[in-house]
Structure 1
């Protein structure tokens, strides 16, 4: 359960960091000569990778990475439409469904190594 919590937290941080970067492009505060959003994005994405590495300890890499990518992309796309007024077309919506389906199929078709089994 901790691995899934780490994975979902990694997704949340990546989404927050990505949206921070978008808001930076719209102008904003600076710190040390860099837009604050760039620094915030770097921190969030870095923390996201740390949490993703923790998830890899218990969740197969294919599953964790697929969920991280698909959930992150879906959330950024949906929040971009809701918060930023970006257009989401029917093909784009279908593509998001395909990402979710692909992540689910990987989860169903991948097994974690049994206790004591060495992973190749």
Structure 2
């Protein structure tokens, strides 16, 4: 499996785990709590395989964390009715821009 497909799996699993963490209400709800453990397990396993396939750790972690932050923030705003300000949107744009620069630098 290509490293970027595994990285996408790691991102999706981490986002599912993080959103489920919110829904677990401090691990007081069993279903979401189980999904947290499975989500993070899949995320870290997939990320470790990405690194094993040779993607630089700085690039892999930057993409993984930035995509996770952006997706969780968007899900929080759209589905969980959490606040999203223009300043927060600007921060997400800066994070994503930084990851793009890391990726471009690694490609040289």
Q: Cα offset for 1:38?
A: 1.8
Q: Is the 8 A contact 2:17 2:40 kept in 1?
A: yes
Which structure features the higher share of helix residues?
A: 2
Q: Quick one: which of 64, 67, 70 aligns to 1:71? A: 67
2:18, 2:62 → 1: CA distance?
18
Query: CA RMSD, aligned part only?
Result: 1.9
Q: Quick one: which of 24, 28, 44 aligns to 1:49? A: 44
Q: Is the 8 A contact 1:6 1:55 kept in 2?
A: yes
* Match in the other structure for 2:33: 38
Q: Deviations over 1:88-112 (max 9, x none)?
A: 0111000000110011000001148
**Structure 1: which 4+ aligned runs deviate by more than 6 Å?**
none
- Residues 27 and 106 of structure 1, relative CA distance in 2, 3 Å threshold: closer
Per the normalisation by structure 1, the TM-score is: 0.82
Any unmatched runs of 5+ in structure 1? 30-34, 113-120
Number of corresponding residues:
107
* Match in the other structure for 1:105: 101
1:57-96 alignment runs, 5 A limit = 57-96=53-92
